[in-house]
Structure 1
């Protein structure tokens, strides 16, 4: 039976015995060797807190996880109980996996409940002692005042210690749950089928990893009170019946039960609202993730405003749900907070109404019992809400874990003859068998042959490759695979790692000779030679610092390096390469390294290579329409051969330029340095007052003024609450008139409810304004940030962490923690004031207690803030890895690297959990110390009342004793919630950092209209570098383009073609010189006007979730007719599937594609149709349009056509001319 104590040993761990020069991150965790006393009192953490109080903590200062807390230890506990066949519920599986430890935590909380019930009995005994001149008997049977003081102190100290340890033990379980479930999410992601991937987007998976796991952790940490609180309250009222009688206790208990029932009902409503919030939040995070992935497209089309409006619209719905959610939580908290007051009023009214005299011992004993109910009532609200939220997250995760997985292949081991066989198979990206993506596919790859697949855009070439891999759902027929694959995806998937790591791709053994041959065959030698650190150069996320051709060749090199594969699936890896490089790659790779291997190559260009294939497959409309050798297909499909002949002519006509081009490229400077991604900022020190001011100021009002108003509201409401307790003592002294005073007591209790709710609503409205404005401002600043200096050096996962985890902290936790700090803080002030007024000698203790409290909180906050920041910093790589893995699932699975990536994820989780675990344990450490301090204050108050028995009034002594017993709980609560509030404010700090980002200043400059009108472009001695410390990538460029001319910009991979386009759109500022369009310097025009006046087809197409109409026209300016015309001009009308366009063009415009081109092929993605919609006079293209589209749609436009393929388009003039400074530019310009 696993109870969590197995790792404890009797010998005491001594950190001092270890060498000082050994970083703590390399030492074993103290939990692996601590003794029982140190474990229960969390004494083993003292050394780390002291270290953090003296200097900011770093990663080297925090121990690694204990072995029992690592993913490798906790993950098998959950998976052993998970049977996917039964489609179990996650919450049931977690209970089965951790039930023994959960039961132990229940017993610990139950023991605390029993001990806490002794406090009212001790208070009653003290009141009886103080009431009697000659003490004869008390409730505890003790007649010595100091003996009663010792009992009160011991009970307070012991119950506090057990409660804090029980909280730590429960939190420990929650942290283990988080590690296990986080790994389950990642492992499930690795096995998602195509259908499941369509259902669960990358944003939703990120939300599960960041938000849902946090909910489960908190729910299981506090969920015990959901069950213990009602039982504890029942026992309290049973004991109260012995003091006030059964009827009075029953009526009071009935009132309390009403509040509890409402707490349960509202908790269920909160759970439903939380599910709504999670759904809207997932939608927002998904769109944010897609926008960040496609930020270049957003900026090139000047769609920032439209995208921001879409996200803000979603945010408004999210804020609406959050407002309802928090309002219900506030009602719940307020009613449960005043429930003891109302219940006590009911008890005393019935007691007095029955004719019983209300004496001081009776009144203050009842008050003491009701003060005990504040703990279960206060925690019950939070625990019910937290537990229901955890259940909601468990349901979401259960749906995800039970989603369809990729069907395992018949065999994964190599057979004597590796084979791929598709027999009369239909494949579909959806469950709709009536409209398959691929129809009646029969294909068998013969061993040792090269098969080339060709066909028009959208004919199903990439879908065929995905079908072989098993990513597409088989609706009929059969798919049998006896092979291991090596795969190149159509859109190059590049990891955030070094070039070498991307090529080797987690291979267990490194073969230097093979590696050198692969680099040479993929023509990467010249590229690596230009880099300061060669193949050790870091590649940015998604390969942002690589050209399209470089990404394609690195992806190809990854496939070539894995020579142990049986079948090589190469999805159009040559399209981004110029003819010469493509020929060299084909010769050295397909005809060299892959000689004798089974390979399937997709081609969308370079058709002159077709004669070298053993077999050619021609696809059209999702079906194989031609299958044979080059000679066999030559007669049947002559149009295909025309492409081949034109490619051969173009190749021969440029052979003379090959040497000169190679020499020019060799001298090309690189834009990459040895390190690209900047390290995440980690702000040191405590959270400043300025951070709180900036948060409150986000409401639209002065931050200090808002704070003052909040303080005034809480002061008034707390005074009313304290007057209610004081009025009870007055009521107890009035004898016959006591019933009228009872109604006064009830009136004060009612006023307290209204004031407490009013103050909370004011805070809620302010917090929602802050959340809404914070998101809007940060989103605007991020979308306005420059690509080279921000997006190119910042991982998407880091940015996404701000808009998911950090924003959720502000939306959910900051308001809750803030209210708790204010509530408990003002209650502490009330305790101090009442104790000072009733027993003045207690003031002597205020100074030492206050000093110890300040020192403890100051030291703890310094350590906790740094640990929380480290937790936030180490969480970003976790989210980045999930997002990166989701995008590269096909590649990871094709190379059978799922296990390696799963291990990488486990390491990342463990690294993050080091700080997450330490932070939570530190909170319990601090709470326990403050509870010890509170118990000391209780003992002091009791001693003072005994010493001043003859002078202090009985009412004053009763208030002093009952209030002081609350201090123990209140001190720890306000301190821990203050620490949590501070740590949540680190999310505000991180978002504030994004409010200070450098902007493109899109609105600066002249906002011109009807420009450009002609389309004349002039580069005048133009030079550019991507960032200040990098070399120039364009040097002294000068040339003119006449209006209406079509210009081809050609050059080898990495020669600067894309950089020229970036300069034209002012994605990068000029280092010197200028660019003029129609005589206007583009630097004098606002960026927004410039980009709206130009049109570009980006090199990397991107699709956003939503309708095709939304992808084509997010600004919602075009009519249906204009959209349909654009689709036909952009050659995209093939997208309308037979039988699915019954509603005409309008129906098609609202069809929803899958994002990031997982369904639509690259050639059919949005950009071509978008281009046809825009009315710009200048067109920049990074992918080839069909010739007919160019002639008809853009005949009067100025067209700049960067291309890595140096073949001249047939529709263009033959009088080609090179720019005078061609050796520097590395491009050709074709003029009419």
Structure 2
């Protein structure tokens, strides 16, 4: 992500600043010629100081490159951790791990601060070097004139000072130029390394391919295969916005959209990676018969599945076993130069110190705000928009804002100080200066009205690029399988062009302003010859206005960060006056009273007045068709969404009256989408380091993962890559079981936990739960009917309403029972599969 949001931005800045390198050099050469005509051989003293300045900068430029590279690497690590946490924020909240992951990111940020501090100190050094050089050049030249007996008359002194002022601002801009060039060089090198990385090899396939992944990949947009009923329930049918990654859809609906997408492809070969595990038995049978057996009857189909009931229908099965005297005046001038240098040095160091403090405070507040944001924020905000804040905007605040601010203050103070001195000595200058300042301010305001919007649009369009990139990376396999790379490349380029447009117009607007300021200054000076003598060039500096405008543009990034620092937060993590007892919940009794849930104030109700009681120690099964509201009920139990009406009471305590951390840390859950984090086996089971290795090995044994981990050379330190992609879906689910075993909660929730594992592993998981959680309240949401058949009670939900709640056998006896209907559909599906 850093390649797109930061490195590409630095390369985009480079062409503008590149021209400063040769224009500054040309201005210096022309100035030296003019100086030689004015002060003769004393010019060589000025040249010596200039050369010495460049030589003093050369070794530190190499160090700047080194630390800039380290800084970008540290940013990569921090952004990777941020992305992983933000993508899996729901899991972090369910496990009450937000504080731990926030601490991990803050530690990575501290590593980044080390490189950032080094980069800023060297940038401050450059600022001192090049801002003090004009004064030191003047002092050295006057000193050389004294010793060489070059007369210092008003005409040549004025020529010298005026010429020096012409190049003063270009010289002072050299630190910015050096910084941009180094940043662009580092960015180029990083992108070249990335582009030269080994790529995937080609596989020869005869015919077109359609692919359906095990984990549904859904893009931001609307729906346009067994979705007829769902489309009727959705408020806008197939044009209903489904949110980023399909957050507004259930797991089964996501899978069916995937299947429909593949069917529209009309390919020759279909690769189906266990797509039926996320739906109930009836829907799975319907999909298999209508999709695989009918729609794909004349197609080549590769189906990866743990549902062996479907296997008889296939042709082949593959089983896988993973005045004063002149001298005195020169001395005073030199003293002023030294004092100026000391001031610049202290200013630079103070800037670095204050910037580090403000940057640390800003990031900390931003991180807390993001981690405390409710799930509704993540459901409605594209991930790319959040990542652009913690990458490109934060990079601008870290690297660009501080020195742009002090250079702006310096240039503006210098301009108005000169104006004030001249107003005291030669008051006539006010007749020219006051109108000029007034016109410049009016012009600046006119520019600001557009420039700020350009930067805001640039930030917004950049988030679209980041969001599209994140979606494309998540669905890379699907995109390649459908041979849609060119379409996604074209879409990405289109988004980049839309992002480049405000970026380009921001620079052109800046040039528009500078041109008019320079023209205005030249016109005033040309029309007032007398004031031209009294008013030295540079008294009113266009560079001062330019710096102010650049700073205002950079402040947009601060504004964007500030927006995310004030996100409405969830309920408090801990309410000190109302903390539950350490042993809570001790019984595990759950009372649901007239519970009504909606995801947004204006949205329709998802749960419509559910009331029931789960007795402590009972095993509760929750069933219903896809999209009926089962997962929403679990979300309400963990307060991922707050009740619109009603309440949930656990062991006599209303869960809305206690802190979220106290609530979520006391419950155990095996979520629908098993999530592993980048790290080790030990870290994924016990990220808070609360358990011994012996306890972890015991849990691995109970989860049937002990042998798998022991076979790996590193044991508990075995690598788990991002998203756990080096472990199978079933193994990831068993990791989640291990987390629940380590936590030992009195209330355990299984949210369709067995959907992605084979029947044998399902039996192991169920046996482990019955043994290890015999006295606990176990709430199971499941599509597989056998999973809930041995439950104490079964709760059936339809369209967000409680249809029935009773013992499984009692429900089976009812003629109009929804549960009985689901059981019949399941066994009918199983028997028809066996007969095939």
TM-score of the superposed pair, with normalisation by structure 2: 0.91
* Corresponding position of 1:764: 352
SS of 1:1208 mapped into structure 2: helix
1:806 Cα offset (Å): 1.6
How many angstroms does 1:260 deviate by? 1.3
CA distance in 1, matches of 2:77, 2:400: 20
Q: 1:777 matched to which residue of 2?
A: 365
SS in 1 for 2:381: coil
User: What secondary structure does 2:785 align onto?
Assistant: coil
Query: Which of 1204, 1208, 1214 is residue 787 of structure 2 equivalent to?
Result: 1208
Residues 1:1217 and 1:740: Cα distance change in structure 2 (over 3 Å): closer
Equivalent residues in 2 for 1:1040-1079 (5 A)? Answer: 1040-1079=613-652
Report how far residue 1072 of structure 1 moved: 2.1
Aligned to 1:293: 87
Is the counterpart of residue 1123 in structure 1 residue 825 in structure 2? Answer: no
State yes or no: 1:1177 paired with 2:746: yes
Aligned positions of 1:713-792 closer than 5 A: 733-734=323-324, 737-788=325-376, 790-792=377-379
Give the Cα–Cα distance (whole angstroms) in 1 for the partners of residues 796 and 664 of structure 2. 26
- Give ranges in structure 2 of 5+ residues lacking alignment: 755-761, 810-836
Which of 409, 418, 430 in structure 2 is aligned with 1:843? 430
Task: Tell me, in whole angstroms, the C-alpha distance in 2 between the residues paired with 1:237 and 1:1222.
Answer: 83
Q: Distance in 1 between matches of 2:263 and 2:707?
A: 34
Q: 1:1163 aligns with which of 725, 730, 745?
A: 730
Contact 1:864 1:922 (C-alpha < 8 Å) held by counterparts: yes
Q: Alpha carbons of 1:1228 and 1:593: their partners in 2 closer, same or farther (altered >3 Å)?
A: farther
CA offset digits 1:396-426 (Å, max 9, x no partner)? 000111112222333xxxxxxxxxxxxxxxx
SS in 2 for 1:1074: strand
Instruction: State whether residues 409 and 482 of structure 1, in contact with CA within 8 Å, keep that contact through their aligned partners in structure 2.
Output: no
Q: Are positions 1:1225 and 2:802 aligned together?
A: yes
In structure 2, C-alpha distance between the alignment counterparts of 1:361 and 1:1217, rounded to whole Å: 100
Structure 1, unaligned runs of 5 or more: 1-205, 411-480, 501-518, 623-732, 946-956, 1142-1146
Write out aligned runs for 1:163-312 (5 A): 206-230=1-25, 232-234=27-29, 236-237=31-32, 239-246=34-41, 248-312=42-106
> SS at the partner of 2:669?
strand
Q: Does 1:548 align with 2:125?
A: no
Cα distance, 1:576 vs. partner? Answer: 0.9
CA distance in 1, matches of 2:128, 2:59: 15
Question: Could you tell which deviates more after superposition, 748-757 or 1216-1225?
Answer: 1216-1225
Match of 1:333 among 116, 121, 127: 127
Partner SS for 1:600: strand
For residue 607 of structure 2, what is the aligned residue in structure 1? 1034
- What value does the CA root-mean-square deviation take over the aligned residues? 2.3
Task: Sort the Cα spacing of 1:389 and 1:558 in 2 relative to 1 into closer, same or farther, 3 A.
Answer: same
Deviation at 1:1223, TM superposition (A): 9.4
Alpha-carbon distance in structure 2 between the residues aligned to 1:981 and 1:1220: 57
Q: Is the 8 A contact 1:798 1:880 kept in 2?
A: yes
SS in 1 for 2:168: helix
Q: 1:285 to 1:1228 in 2, by over 3 A?
A: farther
Does structure 1 residue 498 correspond to structure 2 residue 222?
yes
- In structure 1, what is the Cα distance between the partners aligned to 2:488 and 2:794? 51
Contact 2:166–2:537 under 8 Å retained in 1: no
Aligned 1:869-1018 pairs, distance under 5 A = 869-939=456-526, 942-944=529-531, 960-961=534-535, 964-967=536-539, 970-971=541-542, 973-1003=543-573, 1005=575, 1006-1008=578-580, 1009-1018=582-591
Distance 1:1223 1:292 in 2: 29
Residue deviations 1:92-121 (CA, integer Å, cap 9, x gap)? xxxxxxxxxxxxxxxxxxxxxxxxxxxxxx
Counterpart CA distance in 2 for 1:1079 and 1:1216 is 21
Partner residue of 1:1094? Answer: 667
C-alpha displacement of 1:575: 0.5
Q: 1:609 to 1:1216 in 2, by over 3 A?
A: farther
What displacement does 1:1217 show?
5.3
State the 1:1219 CA deviation: 6.8
Question: For the residues of structure 2 that align with 1:1156 and 1:1046, how far apart are their CA atoms?
Answer: 31
How far has the Cα of 1:1134 moved from its partner?
5.0
Shift, 1:229, TM fit: 3.6
Q: In structure 2, what is the equivalent of residue 561 of structure 1?
A: 264
Matched, 1:397 2:191: yes
C-alpha displacement of 1:1148:
2.8
Cα 1:238–1:943, aligned 2, differ >3 Å: closer, same or farther? closer
2:315 paired residue number: 614
CA gap of 1:1218–1:748, structure 2 versus 1, over 3 A, is: closer
Q: Distance in 2 between matches of 1:840 and 1:1034?
A: 78
- CA shift, 1:939, in A, is 3.2
Aligned position for 1:794: 381
Separation (CA, whole Å) in 2 of partners of 1:382 and 1:1216: 70
1:207, 1:282 within 8 Å by CA — same for their partners in 2?
A: yes
- Partner residue, 1:353: 147
Q: 1:1230 to 1:354 in 2, by over 3 A?
A: farther
Aligned twin of 1:598: 300
Q: What secondary structure is seen at the aligned counterpart in 2 of 1:1095?
A: strand
Mapped partners of 1:1136, 1:1052: distance in 2: 37
SS of the residue aligned with 2:400? helix
Q: How far is the alpha carbon of 1:375 from its aligned partner?
A: 3.4
Distance 2:529 2:457 in 1: 43
Deviations 1:1018-1064 (A, max 9, x none): 21222222222122222222222222222221221111110111011
Q: Find the aligned partners of 1:298 and 1:921 in 2 and give their Cα distance.
A: 45
Deviations 1:666-707 (CA, angstroms, capped at 9, x unpaired): xxxxxxxxxxxxxxxxxxxxxxxxxxxxxxxxxxxxxxxxxx
